[in-house]
Amino acid sequence: MNAPADQPTRAEQQAISAPFLIENQDVVRMLARIADERGTEMHEVARLAVEDYAKRHDLTQCGPEWLERYWREHPMPLPTGVVVDKRFYDSLNDEL
């Protein structure tokens, strides 16, 4: 049995119903230059750029896998409950 496709969001519906227009000439030139270099369509370059951006800014991931592994292997110490007196430490350096 085929699962129903997810319903598009309001923004997706709006984007699908109207063509996407890039009015910034510098951005269009960058897309065109990359498309020429790669021998592909401009919309494919834009799709890849958005896909890459989404991967880089994925909010469900805290950090790269190697960093998460390091955090697991080297956890931060538990809080001691001791309240630090900032004025005392500032006075040691004559910062008051």
**DSSP per residue, 50-85:** HHHHHHHT-TT--S-HHHHHHHHHSPPPPP--PPP-
**Res. 20: pLDDT tops 90:** no
Average pLDDT for the chain: 84
Q: Identify the top-confidence range among 18-22, 51-55, 81-85, 92-96.
A: 51-55
1 in any annotated domain: no
36 in any annotated domain: yes
* Residues 31 and 45 sit within 8 Å (Cβ to Cβ): yes
42 in any annotated domain: yes
30 in any annotated domain: yes
Q: Which residues contact 8 (CB under 8 A, 6 or more apart)?
A: 16
Per-residue pLDDT reduced to its tens digit, 34-67: 999 999 998 899 999 999 998 888 777 777 889 8
39 in any annotated domain: yes
Count of CB atoms situated within 10 Å of the CB of 61:
11
Range of the structural domain that residue 48 is part of: 22-75
